[in-house]
Structure 1
Amino acid sequence: MMNLKTILIVDDEKSIRDGLKVLVPWEEHGFHIIGEATNGREALVIIHEQQPDIVITDLIMPEYNGLELSETIQQQYPDTQFLVLSSYDDFPYVTEAFKNGAIDYLLKPTLTADKLLAILKRIAKKTTKKELFFAEEDRLSQHLNRYLSGYPIEEEYLLTQYFDQPNYYLIYTNLLWYQNKQQVTAYLKQTLLKKVALKELFYLIETTECGLIFTSHLPYELLHIELTDTLRALKRIEPDLFFVLSPVTHSLESIKNKIQLLKNESHEQYFYFKRHIVLKEEDFLDLNTFEEFDTKKYLRSLINEDFHLSITRIEDYFNSTIERMPKPDLLKQETSNIFYTLFSLLLDFCDKPADIQLLKQTFLFKINQVKYLEDFSLLVLTTLEELRILIEDNQIHHASENETIQQMTQYIERNFQKNISLTTLADTFHFNYNYVSKLFSQHYNTSFTDYLNSIRLNKARHLLLTSDSNLSEIADKCGYADLSYFSKLFKKYYGTSPSKYRRENQL
């Protein structure tokens, strides 16, 4: 059965789409129309799902025009060829489309079946040759994958024969870093080195370690620049893009050892190079140093509830440690330990533990997910600033509560002889009843009623010893209308009746 080349038609005019579908007997000439779209945005959905061989697209369309579509196809779907439909007035757009990789263009007013078929057959022939070439490359890549994975292969000479010179470069990346892994590998295989490599082979080992082994006529520094420029387009799609370029090596055996080295070290280097696209191996940082945190001083400041000093010690430590470039996993683990201790003590200290608990959970989750030093530093600094605010709010709240308690205490001492209650205080100071009750309980470690009785009975005791007033008068002056209740309460507090207390203690 003939292997049909698949075609997608993209045009906002239904008459053009319908006309193209019936213009030629597609299957007879080796083509099959898999779909149609009214604009570039619809087209991208179909391209992503069905990967057509050829796209025939109009240039001027609403929402997402043909130029935008052609640029995206070039960047994300290098296997897909495209030609553009245009009117006479669209020529400036045609020029831009060719810059984006268009194979050819067709003028709508002069479009015929013969012209369309001639261009499509030329594209089909080109893609067929390309497929044969890549099939051979894929076979060699499989040999390379087995060789790099440590398996003995009899065809090693095919690899050395293919490269044809013993000066190899290596670029390495890890697919774990990317969202669209297929897109990255397709870009590597078909786009990346066309301008700079004499020969190249794609490798993929352990399902994630991948890159290219290649030879090039360019010197190392210039090669680095060219690779960086070429990969910028891919970085717009994969913002976490990160490659390592090795210096020239002179045997496949040394390439195998180099890949193992890069596998072990690249992930840690990746943490420190958010802005880099291609990192030269010679620019690797030395990540062997690590400074221990002064736990004794830190814990002392926490025990003393000097949380501002604790935060300052954390800041000073990280400023010093980051300059020494520790290994990311060690840095994250130490950070988690330091902050866990701080959060745990603040949960007991602050009046709003729910806020601390939420911040704690968020921080401990994010610190393990963070990919770059830049983001790590921002997370630490913003978390410390949020903690400062919570601590200050808590201190202000305590200061405000202390002032409120002092004012309430003065009010009680001036009005204890009146019929006052928690409701009276809540109304007088414009607070919620439950808040006033809780405030008394926390500050005096007793209930409002017990506190008021202690004030009244202490005043009664003073009057018993310094005045000639009888017991009923003293009870009334101290806020007790019932003499019997007053006497009973007095005995409960002081272990004796009011009259006996006066006899035994009055001078």
Structure 2
Amino acid sequence: MWNMLVVEDESIVRVGLRYMVNWESLGVFWKAEASNGEEALRVMETGEIHFVVTDIRMPGMDGLELARQIKLRYPLVQIIFLSSYDDFSYAKEAIRLGAIDFLHKPTMDEDEIAEVLRKTVSTLEETVQTAKPPYVTEDDRNQYLLSLLDVYTFPQSPLISEFETYDDKQGYWLTVIRKRGDAMTDASDAEHLRFLSLQYMVDEIVTKDWGGVVFHRHYREIIWIAPASPRAAAIKEVEKNKYLESVRQKLLHLLSVSIVYSISSPYEHITDLPKAYMESLLRLPVNEQSDNLIVRMAKEMVDRCLLEDITLIKVAADIHVSSGYLSRVFLKEVGENFSDYVIRNKLEYAQKLLRQTNKKVYEIAADIGYMNPHYFSKLFKERFGIPPLEYRNQ
């Protein structure tokens, strides 16, 4: 079943479209809907979407700008435009953006919609067959790479396709990059887009010169996992710090953005990625990083004691600060309060247990400290949109 997002500012059009077609008979699940482009992008961050049906003209971010952002963030997602009589002037731009087809709002009927959907499903199936397995969106890929940085979410059979020729042969090292003085990133869509522009530029520079893989953590830091030896012969003798300093200068010149960075030691095995990431975090310049020493120590204790009854008071006592101070600085530096951070990490670990074990839901709930499985299921559904059993059966 392919997940669809419908973006249309007129609710009457959305309702009419929803009941005009038997979507599931065509292999399509009406996953979500949005009334504008900004809302659509927020929806796509929280759930897997395979194709988007969007109006061209909407207040705020229109359908064309939405399509540009989708292609930047989720290049495999297919796009169908809803158009009116006077929208055909946009057709050339829509085709350039890779729209799979148009639906003409004043005249579209069930047969026309079904024909476009069959075409879309066929394209998605071809994409799955030609893409390297598993088929993932850009957001899925980013989340998977993030899971490699934490011992509690580390997959059972880890793989970075870009590193198939490196792992266990010449090894790798990891770099964390942050904007200078960026204690807490603005959560607005505009700030996220600016951050993605920075990530894109870093990716363009380092993967061409050196190779490896670039992704981000919560729009706050860029992570680059690099092979021990660079791809380009011209920089094979360049020391890592000197190379990253040249990257810093390019970003300052091209984007007027100042960054700080830190580099881990070299590691041989992909299973050491959590260790490499923590080492790189601890090496960030103390006066320039957003996670100050107290927050780093608190995070490390949460990681060590995640399956225990971990509380703000216990952690504060362990690192010799008041619970009130830790609460304030944690929220400022991380962007979420301490209890939400613990719950998120516990639920992400529960995801791993649901995927990789046959344990009952109540057993998994107990493993992560929830004696009431109903409360655990409620938290899980609030965070991921579906109950634990449905998640396991997907």
Return the TM-score normalized by structure 2.
Answer: 0.43
- Which has more radius of gyration? 1
The structure in which a higher percent of residues are helix is 1
**Larger relative contact order (C-alpha < 8 A, sep ≥ 6)?**
2
Return the TM-score normalized by structure 1.
Answer: 0.36
